[in-house]
Amino acid sequence: MQVKKYVVLIVLFILPIVAYLFFASGVNNFGKLPILTNGVNDVTDMEGNATFKNKITVVGLLGNNPDKKNGNAFNLNQKIYKRFYQFKDFQFVMVMPKGTEVQATELKKELGHLVDMQKWNFVFGDEKQVKDFFSSLKTDIQLENDLSTPYAFIIDKELNLRGRTKDGVEATLYGFDATSVSELNNKMVDDVKIILAEYRLALKKNNADRQE
């Protein structure tokens, strides 16, 4: 009976800790998240106080009818933003057409019931600015007629688009489908973890080099 007791204790307490350490260390060992596009357009020329420089940014485009994209925004808010917003250099930026300022304010207010929205930003541009920004991502995704897309994108501190390169049967993954909770949970969460770990390790290395 004593042996059985110890086995139960190991299963309940020790194995979860080992599993956590394994997966946590695994993120650090994945290396860098691939760069798919160098030097995407910044959003400093649009209305709103946001820049991609020195930030790890999740970018979305909700289009002329953001009310119809509330589900996408909610999924991103719950699965990605809520999980990572407390990291110092992490932010969300929604690139919106001019004329959607009221809807954006209402959306931010609605989502704010669930989490602190301090790092969820909106910027507003004319049609050309929105299209030019999207084109600068250089993806295989088409922008919809209302200037929206269900996909969210990861942009690093140097304004590079990050994602997954083609691997076997998997195609290059430029963006993450916000209509799919499964894709956000199984792919985007992991990729955000990787890029955060990448910069965290780089910072530790720089600090160690300065101390030598």
Low-confidence ranges of the chain (pLDDT < 70): 1-31, 203-212
Question: What are the residue ranges spanned by the domains of the chain?
Answer: 1-30, 35-211
Q: Output the pLDDT for position 23.
A: 42
Burial class (CB in 10 A: 0-12, 13-18, 19+), 147: buried
Residues of the chain by 3-state class (helix, strand, coil), percent to 5: 45, 20, 35
Q: In the prediction, which pLDDT does 5 show? A: 52
What pLDDT is attached to residue 63?
A: 96
The pLDDT assigned to 78 comes to 96
Long-range contacts of 39-43 (CB under 8 A, 24+ apart): 39/136, 39/159, 39/160, 40/133, 40/136, 40/137, 40/138, 40/155, 40/159, 40/160, 40/161, 41/132, 41/133, 41/136, 41/159, 42/159, 43/93, 43/95, 43/123, 43/125, 43/133
89 contacts 200 by C-beta, under 8 angstroms: no
The pTM (predicted TM-score) of the whole model is 0.82
What per-residue confidence (pLDDT) applies to 79? Answer: 96
Q: Which CATH superfamily is domain 35-211 in?
A: Glutaredoxin (3.40.30.10)
| pLDDT score for 92 | 98
**Confidence at residue 97, expressed as pLDDT on a 0 to 100 scale:** 97
| Cβ pair 145, 17 in contact under 8 A | no
Q: Please tell me the distance from the alpha carbon of residue 89 to that of residue 104, in angstroms, as a whole number.
A: 23
pLDDT of residue 171: 87
Structure tokens at 145: 């007629």
